[in-house]
Amino acid sequence: MLNVNNVQIVYDNVIEAVRDASLTVDEGQIVTLLGSNGAGKSTILKGISGVLYPEEGDIIGGTITLDGENMIGRKPDEIVRSGVVLVPEGRQLFEPLTVEENLMMGGITRNRSAAAEALEYVFSVFPRVKEKRGMIAGYLSGGEQQMVAIGRALMSRPRLLMLDEPSLGLAPQIIAEIFEAVTDLSKQSNVSVLLVEQNAELALSIASYGYIIENGRVVMDGTPAKLMNNEDVKEFYLGFSESGNRRNMRDVKHYKRRKRWLS
Amino acid sequence: MDYFILLTVSGISIGVIYGLIGMGYALIFKATSVVNFAQGEVMMLISYMAFSIASSWSLPFWSLLGVCVVLSGVVGLLIERIFIRPMLGQDVFSTVMVTIGMAVMIRAVVVLIWGADPMVLPTDIGDSGVEFGMVFLYTAQIYAIGFLAVCVFGMWAFLRFSRMGVAMRATAARETTALLMGINVTRVYALAWAIAAVIAGVSGVLLGTIYGLGPDMWTQGLRAFPAVILGGLDSVFGAAISGILIGVLENLSEGYIGHGLKEISGFLVILVVLMIRPYGLFGTPEIERV
């Protein structure tokens, strides 16, 4: 469905954030994008959403297509209308607005009755959000805010939902709840998900395919089973040493072991 | 006592104008986080345009006002399109400088076209008025009070209930996220400028009818500025209330303490208020969870 092909993204015309990134998300699939801080994961998502320009970013090479149609250069609202929506990192709710107003803004690209319908749909996905609908969004707890953020994106009834680190700063129990909801979404509503995560173990547990990004390039991809069995992924992303034991932080000596994909 | 009432009432009637201009400042600031220093100049420009229209065709007051509403909306959109939109993505400070430049330009253009002599805005409500006990109010003053009330209520309803209004608040809160949700941010900005210009335009026509036209009309914009700061830069409602407050205060301080205090009393009050409430009387403090 979504095809990102050899995309190269620069900031301020010189700083290369992403080079030769390629990935594919198919209908109803959960695909995860792993990588450390500054690897370029969020930049790729912003590139797909068309919101690089406020940060002086630009896609200077490659193609992004949705069902074969070019996505590069489209306005953000057209991209939302075409069914691709991003839940930004750190929730980014409209804090002074109520929960319901936040949700209505997610549905701004749809007409009034479609938005009202979508509101009921979001409430059925996150019943907790319905209870808080009249509250000022800025005063919700982190978990509730994340639910509102995902719900707000769902208001546009997307075909592809992009999540940028939904687990950021949340308690494990809440994370489990949110990941469960995301899994249900892809299974029941046939929404494709592109998930960016730091928590590799968690992300690979619900994904059907994964990409690992480092320094702006895709260095490895494969099924979760394949990735989890890779020695480097185990060591650098899952925190196991080669012997398979959980690493003792006292023995960490990153410089001694080079990642094999850095030839 | 009579003196007090007299001062208060005339304070309210000028304060209403401050409030209207202030609402324009606050609306643009709220939506785009730019302080439009040309707000008073836009008001002056529209009132001079109204003068040309009124002296060419003798329209009844309400038709004149209607024409000016449309005209000022167009002026607002043009200003946004020509001067402000190219500044998108630039520093807010640079945009503010652009508005200051615009202000100087409009002042010059007005003098260039219409001359520097004071003029009377010829409308058919001119000198008519109503007497309340011992205070006399011009019809235009009463209209101004009514228009402020309509604006306050209208803006409140717009920002609370209409999708475009909520989108305006959302854009004010987080611009990038607003883009992500598919809100047409440029349209929101253009609308904010248009509404602010319409409010300025109508208050310009009313002000012109009450006090006449002159090349120093723009100073009303400067006078209205303390009102916006007092009310909280992002509070449209606060600007309206504080406008009246400042108007009354100016008049009382001049009437009881002495001449010359009128110009500074507003600024004195905001100094004190901002020490206690840095975000103004009705402004929103940052939402922080602890």
Residue of A nearest to B184 (CA): A77
* Tens of each residue's pLDDT in chain A, 263 residues: 899 999 999 999 888 899 888 999 999 899 999 988 888 899 999 999 999 988 888 999 899 999 999 999 999 999 999 999 999 998 899 998 999 999 999 999 999 999 999 999 999 999 999 999 999 999 999 999 999 999 999 999 999 999 999 998 899 999 999 999 999 988 888 899 999 988 888 899 999 999 999 888 888 899 999 988 888 887 777 776 555 566 565 655 555 566 677 65
Are B192 and B28 contacting, i.e. CB atoms less than 8 angstroms apart? Answer: yes
Q: How confident is the model at residue B286 (pLDDT cuts 50, 70, 90)?
A: low
B74: enclosing H helix or E strand: helix B61-79
CB within 8 Å of B127: residues ≥ 6 apart: B138
Answer whether residue A260 is part of any domain: no
Please report the pLDDT score of residue A249 as a whole number.
59
| Mean pLDDT, residues B13-20 taken together | 91
Tokens at residue B112, please? 């260039």
Across the A:B interface, residue pairs with CB atoms under 8 Å apart total 83
Are B24 and B36 contacting, i.e. CB atoms less than 8 angstroms apart? Answer: yes
User: Which of B33, B159, B180 has the highest number of chain A CBs within 10 A, making it the mutation to test binding with A?
Assistant: B180
DSSP letters, A56-67, are TEEEEEEEEEET
Question: Exposure pattern of A164-182 as b/e (b: 16+ CB <10 Å)?
Answer: bbbbeebeeebbebbbebb
Answer whether residue A245 is part of any domain: no
3-state secondary structure of B239: helix
Q: How confident is the model at residue B244 (pLDDT cuts 50, 70, 90)?
A: very high
Please report the pLDDT score of residue A263 as a whole number.
54
The model's pLDDT over B182-211, given as tens digits with 9 standing for 90+, comes to 999 999 999 999 999 999 999 999 999 888
Interface contact flag, B179 A152, Cβ < 8 Å? no
Interface pTM, i.e. ipTM: 0.85
State how far the alpha carbon of A206 is from the alpha carbons of A27, A64, A75, A196, A214, in Å: 15, 25, 31, 12, 22
Residue with tokens 């993505």: B89
Of A80, A92, A112, the CB nearest to B182: A80
CA dihedral B96, B97, B103, B109 (to 10 degrees): -140
Smallest Cα distance from A222 to chain B, Å: 29
Contact list in B for residue A111 (CB cut-off 8 A) is none
Please report the pLDDT score of residue A56 as a whole number.
86
CATH code for the domain of A90: 3.40.50.300
| Mean pLDDT, residues B85-109 taken together | 90
What are the residues of chain B with a beta carbon less than 8 Å away from any beta carbon of chain A? 89, 163, 166-167, 169-170, 173-184, 284, 287-289
Please report the pLDDT score of residue A246 as a whole number.
62
Please report the pLDDT score of residue B78 as a whole number.
95
Lowest-confidence range among A86-100, B97-111, B247-261? Answer: B247-261
Q: Is the pLDDT of residue B144 over 70?
A: yes
Q: What is the DSSP letter of A52?
A: -
Contact list in A for residue B162 (CB cut-off 8 A) is none
Please report the pLDDT score of residue B269 as a whole number.
86
Of A81, A96, A106, the CB nearest to B173: A96
Distance separating alpha carbons of residues A179 and A160, to the nearest angstrom: 16
The model's pLDDT over A200-232, given as tens digits with 9 standing for 90+, comes to 888 999 999 999 998 888 888 999 999 888 888
Interface contact flag, A96 B169, Cβ < 8 Å? yes
Strand partners, A213: A218
Q: How confident is the model at residue B268 (pLDDT cuts 50, 70, 90)?
A: confident
Distance separating alpha carbons of residues B185 and B272, to the nearest angstrom: 36
Distance separating alpha carbons of residues A52 and B155, to the nearest angstrom: 33
CB within 8 Å of A91: residues ≥ 6 apart: A142, A145, A146, A148, A149
Interface contact flag, A77 B182, Cβ < 8 Å? yes
Distance separating alpha carbons of residues A24 and A31, to the nearest angstrom: 8
Answer whether residue A196 is part of any domain: yes
- For residue B252, which amino acid is it? L
| Mean pLDDT, residues B222-240 taken together | 87
Contact list in B for residue A81 (CB cut-off 8 A) is 182
Is residue A249 exposed (0-12), middle (13-18) or buried (19+ Cβ within 10 Å)?
Answer: exposed
Give me the domain span that covers residue A55.
2-229
Neighbours of A26 (CB within 10 A): 12
3-state secondary structure of B278: coil
Are A94 and A105 contacting, i.e. CB atoms less than 8 angstroms apart? Answer: yes
Gyration radius of chain B over CA positions: 19
Tokens at residue A254, please? 């990153």
Contact list in A for residue B183 (CB cut-off 8 A) is 77, 105, 108
Domain count along chain A: 1
Listed in sequence order, the DSSP H helices in chain A are: 41-49, 76-81, 99-106, 112-125, 127-131, 142-154, 172-188, 200-206, 224-229, 231-233
CATH class, B2-276 region = mainly alpha
Please report the pLDDT score of residue A217 as a whole number.
87
Residue of B nearest to A156 (CA): B181
- The dihedral through the CA atoms of B163, B164, B170, B176 has a sign that is positive
Distance separating alpha carbons of residues B238 and B251, to the nearest angstrom: 20
Are B251 and B242 contacting, i.e. CB atoms less than 8 angstroms apart? Answer: no
Answer whether residue A185 is part of any domain: yes
B205: enclosing H helix or E strand: helix B185-211
Q: What is the DSSP letter of A240?
A: B
Interface contact flag, A108 B289, Cβ < 8 Å? no
Please report the pLDDT score of residue A199 as a whole number.
85
Tokens at residue B78, please? 């043009």
